[in-house]
Chains A and B, each alone.
Chain A
Amino acid sequence: MEAALAGLYRALALYLPGDVLIADRVYPDEVPAGVVRPYWVFFFVSGGESNDVHRQDAEFVLTVKCVAETLAQSLDGAGRISNKLNDAGRQDGAAAPIPGTSEWDILTVTQERTVHIVEKFEKAQPIYHDGNQYRFVMERK
């Protein structure tokens, strides 16, 4: 029996890759050393079972962001993530909604807070992080 968060991570890992900016460079939680930037990374912020209905349900907030070497590229990546994810749930009316898994239905995806970080890396080289927090409402099928 698949946990809700496992289902969401699996769905995102299949749904997010393929953008021309990052190809298949999409990573959950941690990014392997040496990966070429830009890339996308998503990780847990908050959430869990919501107990709104008798079936098992869940509501999670995840950060999904683009990490790049220029601000322009990072913001472009954030926009591409938004274009792909915002309102991409089955009930959101998206043209290509995010498929759930065999056990979990992803009902809605809602873009929320903006994420913007400037990280100083080697020799004070700036690395830019831009994206959003997204709220996922799910129900077990």
Chain B
Amino acid sequence: MARLAQNNYYLTLDGVDVSPYTGEISLDAKSEEIDITSGAGTTHMARSAGLRDTSMKATLAYEDTLLAAYVAKINPGSLYAVVYGPEGAISGKPRHAQSMLLTATSGPKTDVKKGFTVFELQFSGAAAPTMDFYTGGVFP
């Protein structure tokens, strides 16, 4: 048992492995809440779970000699088959697989001070996950 503190994560977009270029990845899930409070004299809210939703943010380095390998997979408005493994793509390790809509790509942003140039990607779930990290999905 140990806290996770490594960078051997795995991310593919339509089967293109972008892990070597990836800086940060954040997979986020939420559930809508439904107010089901009822009855007279009720003193507390009652809620139930509504639809679930998943989103993801990732940063990718701008690799000058390798950009052609993945630039077609960071095109906003496209649906991509996303596979994410926070501990790598090792059998038995957590896996999230889902069709996601790339809603925004920020970058390349360049500056005269020669800062590190990255792309910031924002994805929203486009369908139910075929393998859900939050329900215990793992690599086969």
Q: Enumerate chain A interface residues (CB-CB to B < 8 A).
A: 52-55, 91, 108, 110, 137
Contacts and interface: CB of A to CB of B under 8 A. Distances in A.
A106 B64 CA distance: 13
Interface residues of B, number: 10
Interface of B: 7, 19-23, 61, 64, 114, 116
Contacts of A53: 20-21, 23, 61
Contacts of B61: 52-53
B20 A54 contact: yes
Contact of A52 (B20, B64, B114, B116): B116
Contacts of A52: 23, 61, 116
17 contacts: A52-B23, A52-B61, A52-B116, A53-B20, A53-B21, A53-B23, A53-B61, A54-B7, A54-B19, A54-B20, A54-B21, A54-B22, A55-B20, A91-B64, A108-B114, A110-B114, A137-B114
Nearest to B7: A54
A91 B114 CA distance: 10
A110 to B, nearest CB: 6
A137 B114 CA distance: 10
B120 to A, nearest CB: 15
A91 B117 CA distance: 12
Nearest to A91: B64
Identify the interface centre among B19, B23, B114: most chain A CB within 10 Å of its CB.
Answer: B114
Nearest to B116: A52
A95 to B, nearest CB: 18
A137 B19 CA distance: 22
Given A53-B61, A54-B20, A54-B22, 7 more contacts: A52-B116, A53-B20, A53-B21, A54-B7, A54-B21, A55-B20, A110-B114
Contacts of A137: 114
A103 to B, nearest CB: 16
Nearest to A139: B63
Nearest to A54: B20
